[in-house]
């Protein structure tokens, strides 16, 4: 079992998604199956097959989400040391090749969203930053070569 670290916000969002699937989506799929059954011969009923497939996919999603939430740990950002880069750290970086500054927050894969500056600790950049301190250089191996980032600032 793999432990996933989440923020409280991330946990709440996944819990809400699970509740939506269990309380609303299950009912909708059950209605679709019932309607398809009413149309007659199930052996040649594409609507019935599609609804049953959707039901199977939904149950798989529910199962995976329940497992994830059961095995996750909710982290409190106030307990994170700001001297070293950890999950939930906000890190200001400088790309040493382009001199461009970037700001990222390291989060779990489930919470990653590049548009909002949240990158996974399992991504190449996120993984290379873990354990580093201000002033250190993280080297990220990418298909085009190696990118070097200097850590300028670490926030909680």
Q: With a cut of 80, say whether residue 81 has pLDDT above it.
A: no
Residue 43: what pLDDT? Answer: 66
Residue 34: what pLDDT? Answer: 87
Confidence of residue 144 (pLDDT cuts 50, 70, 90): confident
Residue with the larger pLDDT of the pair 35 and 77: 35
Report the alpha-carbon angle 132-133-138, nearest 5: 45
Confidence of residue 154 (pLDDT cuts 50, 70, 90): very high
Residue 91: what pLDDT? Answer: 95
Going from the C-alpha of 40 to that of each of 34, 54, 95, 122, the distances in angstroms are: 11, 20, 64, 50
Over pLDDT 70: what percentage of the chain? Answer: 96
Confidence of residue 96 (pLDDT cuts 50, 70, 90): very high
Query: Is the CB of residue 128 less than 8 Å from the CB of residue 104?
Result: no
Q: Which residue has the tokens 């923020």?
A: 7
In sequence order, the 6+-apart residues with CB closer than 8 A to the CB of 27 are: none
Mean pLDDT for the stretch of residues 37-63: 84
Average pLDDT for the chain: 89
Residue 38: what pLDDT? Answer: 81
Domains contained in the chain, CATH given: 4-74 (1.10.287.180), 77-155 (3.10.50.30)
- The pLDDT tens digits for 101-143 are 999 999 988 899 999 999 999 999 999 999 999 999 999 998 8
């Amino acid at each position: 079992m793999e432990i996933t670290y989440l923020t409280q916000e991330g946990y709440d969002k996944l819990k809400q998604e699970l509740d939506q699937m269990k309380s609303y989506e299950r009912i909708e799929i059950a209605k679709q199956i019932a309607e398809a059954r009413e149309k007659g011969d199930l052996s040649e009923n594409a609507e019935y097959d599609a609804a049953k497939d959707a039901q199977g996919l939904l149950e798989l999603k529910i199962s995976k989400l329940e497992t994830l939430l059961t095995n996750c740990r909710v982290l409190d950002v106030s307990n994170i040391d700001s001297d070293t880069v950890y999950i939930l750290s906000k890190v200001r970086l400088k790309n040493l090749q382009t001199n461009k500054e970037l700001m990222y927050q390291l989060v779990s894969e489930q919470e990653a969203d590049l548009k909002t500056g949240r990158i996974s600790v399992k991504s190449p950049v996120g993984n290379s930053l873990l354990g580093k301190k201000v002033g250190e250089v993280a080297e990220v191996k990418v298909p085009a070569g190696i990118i070097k980032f200097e850590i300028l600032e670490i926030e909680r």
